[in-house]
């Protein structure tokens, strides 16, 4: 998710901590039989929808909470190639 993270960068998550608004997350969502993992910025979550934002292009994305498998708080990173 440039400019925050570079491609190939290793991200560390804490699956036990709920993400605060404005923090970076890895969100796992399903689209039919496909499961995707996306690096986004957490905006909000409720019983019916989860909203995240991205930088490139700048936009908010809303997922039905029923399609969200997990939202993991990013707690650290390591540069690519290290």
How far is 50 from 63, CA to CA, in rounded Å?
5
Ordered structural domains, the chain, with CATH: 10-76 (2.30.30.520)
Instruction: Cis check for the bond before 78: say yes or no (omega within 30 of 0).
Output: no
Render pLDDT for 25-40 as a digit per residue (tens, 0 to 9).
999 999 999 999 999 9
Q: Model-level pTM greater than 0.85?
A: yes
Nearest to 45 by CA among 25, 30, 31: 25
Percent of the chain with pLDDT over 70: 94
**C-beta neighbour count of 9 within 10 angstroms:** 16
The pLDDT-based confidence of 1 (bands split at 50, 70, 90) is low
More confident call, 82 vs 58: 58
Nearest to 26 by CA among 4, 57, 59: 4
Two tokens at 11?
């991200």
């Amino acid at each position: 998710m440039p400019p925050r993270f570079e491609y190939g960068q290793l991200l560390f998550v804490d699956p036990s901590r709920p993400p605060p608004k404005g923090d970076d997350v890895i969100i796992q969502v399903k689209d039919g039989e496909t499961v995707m993992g996306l690096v986004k910025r957490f905006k909000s979550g409720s019983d019916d929808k989860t909203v995240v934002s991205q930088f490139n292009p700048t936009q908010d994305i809303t997922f039905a909470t029923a399609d969200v498998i997990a939202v993991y708080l990013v707690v650290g990173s390591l540069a690519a190639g290290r």
